Amino acid sequence: MVHELKRRRPGTFRAMGRSRRALPALALALALAETAGGAGCGSKPAMSGPPPIPDADFAVCEGTPAVHYAPGVAVVSASGTYRASLQTASTDQGGPKPVATAAVGLDTFTVAVTLAPGDGGAADAGVAAPDDLVVAAPPKTQTIPADPYMPVHGHGGSTVPVITPMGGGLYSVGNLDFFMGGYWDLYLDLTAAGGTPDLVTFPICIPSD
């Protein structure tokens, strides 16, 4: 092994000696490559549009029944007659465009109401609620002091939900003042013609930014 190393060492030095004339050109090429590489690392392409939103923090809802918003999140009404699901969400945070999710700010949901497998029977499950179904914020009571409401903190938002029927069992539920992250309950009364209110409760987690 020692003999092999001795034999390789002269060859190595001889190779370097033969390329001695090329050293200035090689040094120049390396310098140019280093300069180009440094420029590439230091310059980033310009970003178009608003800066990306950082990952939302859902830890504020730990230990609560709140669920993260996702299209299709659904609950069943108190009587079991209706199934209400959140189809879309957008949040006005004061920027040029709303954020397409549930977040801190002034939120709007599109809610779909269908018949649930209950009094209507399994055959009617999934059928859009009739257009004469009235969806409204329930009146304030001891159990529903505000809408939406934060059960853990004991307070609600500063606005009243604005609910607009869109037809086909769809309703726009807007003007929701989720001014801080945490567990919020969103309440909706569903009332059929000649019927009594049927409460729907969405336990929603609004992440802290």
The pLDDT of residue 73: 96
**Residues in a beta bridge with 203:** 185
The pLDDT of residue 8: 40
Q: What angle do CA 78, 79, 82 make, to 5 degrees?
A: 85
* Enclosing H/E stretch for 91: strand 82-92
Interval 125-159: pLDDT, tens: 789 999 999 999 999 999 999 999 999 999 998 99
The pLDDT of residue 27: 46
Confidence class of residue 173 from pLDDT cuts 50, 70 and 90?
Answer: very high
Domain 64-206 has CATH 2.60.40: yes
Cα 31 from Cα 29, distance rounded (Å): 5
Mean pLDDT of 59-88: 95
Cα 148 from Cα 35, distance rounded (Å): 58
Q: Are 149 and 183 in contact (CB under 8 A)?
A: no
Tell me if residue 62 falls in helix, strand or coil.
Answer: coil
The pLDDT of residue 55: 57
Give the dihedral sign, CA 122/124/128/130.
Answer: negative
Query: Which residue intervals of the chain are DSSP H helices?
Result: 2-18, 23-42
1-15, 69-83, 88-102, 189-203: which has the minimum mean pLDDT? 1-15
Whether residue 172 has pLDDT greater than 90: yes
Cα 22 from Cα 154, distance rounded (Å): 79
Residues in the chain: 209
Whether residue 123 has pLDDT greater than 90: no
Tell me if residue 59 falls in helix, strand or coil.
Answer: helix
Neighbouring CB atoms inside 10 A of 182's CB total 19
Mean pLDDT of 170-182: 97
Q: What angle do CA 31, 35, 39 make, to 5 degrees?
A: 170
Whether residue 44 has pLDDT greater than 70: no
